[in-house]
Amino acid sequence: MLMLAYLFSILAAGVLVLAHPYVIVRPSVWFCLLMILRINGAAAFGPEEIFCGYQELWTLRLLSICFPLAIMVWVVCTPGLNSAAQNLYRKCRATAILPAASVYGAPERRALLVFGVAVVITLAAYLTTVRITKTGLWATLFHPATYTMAREESLKLVASPFVRYMYNWHCVLFAPIVIGLLASGGRWRLNVATICRGSIILMLILSVMLTGARAPGAVLFMLLAILYMLRKGVIKGGIVVFLTACCAIFLAMLLTFMRAGRLDELSPESATKALSGGLFGRVFVSPFRTGVWTNLYAQEHGLLGVSNIRPLALLCGTKYVNLANRVALAYIPGVVRSCHSNTCFLFAFQASFGLLPGFVVALVGLCCLDFLLFGFKRLNGSLLVVMLASFMVALLSLNSGAFTVCLNTHGLLWIPVLAWMFALTNRRALRRRYPWSIQRHRDDLE
């Protein structure tokens, strides 16, 4: 039954997206696709060792697989949000057929200046606090034996909360938007300007990997693929997103060999073994395994209620429980004290309120994210494409993060707010330089 339900969810999602490509920009649908790919495969077909003796395993697996189906029901029942998504999707598609001067102008250059300054300030503050030779990236490249502590000292153990939060926003907010604006700033030809843009993009990708984490760099490559998808459409763009994801996994494998000091052992055979072993498990099995661990912790210690949700814990005067840290210490042997076992927000809510109540709370929270699309409503041109692509990239964090953490720390709330603010400050310029009719280009933009 679980396997049939999973296959049905894949079929339903495919039909929905192919019939109405514009729904891809709805946060609920985008997360639905990510969950089907990264979490529910293990829920349906995962090996027994990831289930850890959890007593209500069948219910957990079923609710995980049914979550995307519930999302699709919500999408079908909200035509107003579908209309808003359709309008945004068409405006993004229009940037591929309109003259460059009409889609990249003063608003884009102003945004590039603002976020570029933020990048410079953040990196200056970070590298002043953490020497480049003490970062996780440096340890990965030159001193693999010190990687574990270097990664912890690169961010989690930094004393200044200002530096920690600014660097985190650099990874999830400043760098993605700057990279998107640079990538959209003209045709890619073999000249000095293109070489400079490409070099800056490469340095920004490396800058988000200073802690030694592989995922932030892979996410920025995904950003470029999503930019292409929003301009060229779901079918062409989907292929590019898939190929980019494969390249990102290969890059992660390469960094794994470097971190282990085994780069000289890299071969087709060892690469295949690494991909089929640890990396495949990290990408497609661990997201559900951590969900099982999280609910197992609640089973052994009792439901956490609002103590697992920092804002509500502070509001209610309850001691905050860092669930991700406690789960890591409980179920991962030999880890450092600051280790975290981050999990999907659905499982975190289930650990707080129970399997079915947590399912409902997570569903309501995700559906509310669809209303954030109205923050992008008045944007046009490349600025819209970049901000929307950055928002879709930020949504990736929901696969492995608590809901309120993703809203704040991962920029899910701040990107639509910034998009709305830029639309207000550039209202006249956007209206004047983008005077085109959506209806006129309807057939070209489907």
Take residue 179 and report the two structure tokens written for it: 């990279």
* H helix intervals, 48-146: 57-76, 79-94, 100-103, 106-129, 136-142
| Interior angle at CA 398, CA 393 and CA 401, nearest 5 | 120
User: According to the model, what pLDDT value does residue 114 have?
Assistant: 93
Q: Specify the amino acid at residue 418.
A: L
* DSSP 8-state class, residue 170: I
Domain count, the chain: 1
User: According to the model, what pLDDT value does residue 257 have?
Assistant: 67
CB 68 within 8 A of CB 344: no
* DSSP 8-state class, residue 174: I
Domain span at residue 400 reads 2-445
- Ranges of residues in the chain with a pLDDT under 50 are 432, 434-446
Q: Specify the amino acid at residue 199.
A: S
Phi-psi region of 341 (alpha: psi -120 to 50; beta: other; left: phi over 0): beta
Q: How far is the C-alpha of 40 from the C-alpha of 63, rounded, in Å?
A: 10
Q: How many residues does the chain have?
A: 446
Expressed in percent and rounded to 5, the helix, strand and coil fractions of the chain are 80, 0, 20
Q: How far is the C-alpha of 99 from the C-alpha of 195, rounded, in Å?
A: 23
Helix (H, G, I), strand (E, B) or coil at 244: helix
Q: How far is the C-alpha of 403 from the C-alpha of 34, rounded, in Å?
A: 16
Q: Which residues contact 56 (CB under 8 A, 6 or more apart)?
A: 295, 299, 355
Q: How far is the C-alpha of 259 from the C-alpha of 262, rounded, in Å?
A: 8
Q: How far is the C-alpha of 370 from the C-alpha of 74, rounded, in Å?
A: 10
User: According to the model, what pLDDT value does residue 7 have?
Assistant: 93
Q: How far is the C-alpha of 410 from the C-alpha of 407, rounded, in Å?
A: 6
User: According to the model, what pLDDT value does residue 277 have?
Assistant: 58
CB neighbour class for 3 (10 Å; exposed up to 12, middle 13-18, buried from 19): exposed
CB 160 within 8 A of CB 369: no
pLDDT digit string (tens) for 89-144?
A: 999 998 888 777 778 888 888 999 999 999 999 999 988 888 888 888 887 777 77
Q: Which residue has the tokens 């990831």?
A: 50
User: According to the model, what pLDDT value does residue 158 have?
Assistant: 76
